[in-house]
Amino acid sequence: MPPTNFRNSRFLKRSPQFSMTTRRRFLQASAAATTGVILANCQRNLSDVGSSDGGNTASPTSGSTDTLHVYTWADYTDQELADSFTQKTGIRVVSDTYDSNETMLAKLQAGGGNIYSVIYPSDYMVQKMIGMGMLTELDKSQIEGVDNLRDKWSNPGYDPGNAHSIPTTWGTTGLIYNSTVLNPNPEDWAYLWDEQRQISRKMTLLDDVREVMGASLRSLGYSYNSVDPAEIEAAHQRLVELKPAIASFKSFGWEDQLMTGDTVLSMVYSVDAISATLENPDLNYIIPASGSSVWTDTMAIPTTAPNPEAAYAWINFLLEPENAARAVERLKFATPNQPAFELLSNELKENTDLFPPDDVLKNCEGIAPISQEISELYDRYWTELRSA
C-alpha cells in the first residue's frame, strides 16, 4: 500500500449515459462553473419535484424528519439512488449540487447551508472544516460498514480514524487525449512542453490553480504541494512558456471540443475522463508517470445538520456494498469500499483508469492544505497567468 496521503479534489461528476446527456450535463456543468453559487443554490429535488423548498433561504425548520437535504457534487447522486433510499427508509431526499469545495464552504459559512444534513467535502476540505469546528464527530455506533473500507482509507491523514467523515469516492487527475491524432502519445507532464507545437491551441487545462501549478511543479521534479517560493516561481515561469499553446482553462465542458477534434488533449479529473473514454475508444486517459494528484471525497455531517438521524441512514445506505456498487456502475467513480468493488463487473474492476494499479499511484500526491501566505502567492501567479 503506498503511503500516499489522499487529499484533494474539486470537480463535477458526469453522467454515465454520455451520448444521451452530454449536452445537458455540459450546460449544467459549465453553468455551475461560471455562475457558481447562483446555480449551486438551485435546488434539484430528486424524489419529489413538486414540493421543493427554496434554495438557501430555507430555514432549518424546513428539514423535517422525513426529509433529508444533501449538498453534493453534481452526479454523485441520481434519481435511482434517491428513489431506492426513499423506498427503504421512507425519507425523502432533496439534493443540491456545488462545483467546488470552496463554494460549498462559502455557503455554509454564510449560513445558507443549515438545511443540509449531509455534505461531500474532499479530503483537504475535511481537514480544514474540522479545524473550523464545522463537522460533527461521527457516532460510530450508528454507522455500519466502516470496516468495508479498504485499508488505505481506514485511517486517512486528513481525518485520522475517519472520525468526522466517511470516504465515499476517489479518483485521480490526468490527461485525456485523442490517440488517433497525437504521435507520440503523452506519458508525462513534460509532453505538454516537448510537443507544444503539435498541441498548440488544441489543449485545455483544468481551471484550478493548485492542480495546474502542481502539474507544472511536478514536471520540474518538485512536489505537487511545494511551498518553496522559488519552486513556485519556476513552475509559474514554465506555465508562462506554455501559455500561448493553451486554448482555455476548463474543468468542465471540455468533452465536446475533444470529440469534435477542436482540441486533442485536456487535463482532467478521472471521473469525467472515464465516461468519455468508454464513449469514444479514440480517447485515452493517462496518469502522468512522474505523478499527479489523487483525491478522496467524503460524506460528512455538518454541526448545523437539522436531521442527523436521516444523515446516518444515508451514510449507512451508501456503505452497503450493493448500493455503492450500483452507484459506481452508473456514475463511474472509484469506490474505497472493498465488498462493493468485488461486486463490480470485471470490465470495471479491470479498468485501470478507474482503479489504477498501486505502482502508478505511488507517485501521486493528494493536494495538501497550505498556509494563507503561500495560497495567496499561488493565487497571484494564477491571476497573472490568466490575465497576461
Partner 1 sequence: MLLVPAGAWLLLLLVAPSLMILEFSLHPGLRPGQAFGAYGLGNYLQIFQPIYLQVIGRSLYFAISSTLTCLLLGFPVAYWIAVMAPKRWQNLLLVGFVLPLWTSSLLRSYAWITILRPTGVLNTLLSTIGLPTLDLLNQQSAVLIGLSYNFLPYMVLILYASLEKLDKRLLEAAADLGANPQQVFWKVTVPQTLPGIAAGCLLVFITSLGDFVVPELLGGASSMTAARLIYNQFLGATRNWGFGSSLSMLLILAVSVSIALLIKYGDQEPERY
- Closer CB to partner 1, residue 100 or residue 168? 100
The least distance separating partner 1 from the CB of residue 381, rounded to whole angstroms, comes to 9
Residues 44-83 that bind partner 1 (CB under 8 A): none
Each residue 315-344 as x (binds partner 1 by CB under 8 A) or -, in order, gives ------------------------------
- Closer CB to partner 1, residue 144 or residue 256? 256
3-state secondary structure labels for all residues of the chain:
CCCCCCCCCCCCCCCCCHHHHHHHHHHHHHHHHHHCHHHHCCEECCCCHHHCCCHHHCCHHHCCCCEEEEEEECCCCCHHHHHHHHHHHCCEEEEEEECCHHHHHHHHHCCCCCCCCEECCEHHHHHHHHHCCCECCCCHHHCCCHHHECHHHCCCCCCHHHCCEEEEEEEEEEEEEECCCCCCCCCCCHHHHHCHHHHCCCEEECCCHHHHHHHHHHHCCCCCCCCCHHHHHHHHHHHHHHHHHEEEECCCCCHHHHHHCCCCEEEEEHHHHHHHHHHCCCEEEECCCCCCEEEEEEEECECCCCCHHHHHHHHHHHHCHHHHHHHHHHHCCECCEHHHHHHCCHHHHCCCCCCCCHHHHCCCECCCCCCHHHHHHHHHHHHHHHHC
- Closer CB to partner 1, residue 141 or residue 372? 372
CA distance 144 to 112: 30
The least distance separating partner 1 from the CB of residue 49, rounded to whole angstroms, comes to 21
- Closer CB to partner 1, residue 350 or residue 384? 384
- Closer CB to partner 1, residue 8 or residue 148? 8
17, 79, 110, 342: which one binds partner 1 (CB under 8 A): 110
Task: Give the total of residues touching partner 1 (CB under 8 A).
Answer: 38
Contact range with partner 1 by CB under 8 A, out of 153-161, 227-235, 358-366, 379-387: 379-387
Residues 243-302 that bind partner 1 (CB under 8 A): 243, 246-249, 257, 260-262
- Closer CB to partner 1, residue 103 or residue 307? 103
User: For residues 59-90, b (16+ Cβ closer than 10 Å) or e, as one string?
Assistant: eeeebeeebbbbbbbbbbbbeebbeebbeebe
Quick check: 209 binds partner 1 (CB under 8 A)?
A: yes
- Closer CB to partner 1, residue 19 or residue 109? 109
Quick check: 371 binds partner 1 (CB under 8 A)?
A: no
Quick check: 109 binds partner 1 (CB under 8 A)?
A: yes
106, 143, 220, 240: which one binds partner 1 (CB under 8 A): 106
- Closer CB to partner 1, residue 276 or residue 344? 276
30, 47, 127, 275: which one binds partner 1 (CB under 8 A): 30
Quick check: 179 binds partner 1 (CB under 8 A)?
A: no
- Closer CB to partner 1, residue 199 or residue 344? 199
Residues 215-254 that bind partner 1 (CB under 8 A): 243, 246-249
Quick check: 34 binds partner 1 (CB under 8 A)?
A: yes
Please name every residue paired with 169 in a beta bridge, in sequence order, or none if there are none.
297
Interface residues toward partner 1, by CB under 8 A: 27, 30-31, 33-37, 100, 102-103, 106, 109-110, 132, 201, 209-210, 243, 246-249, 257, 260-262, 372, 375-376, 378-380, 383-384, 386-388
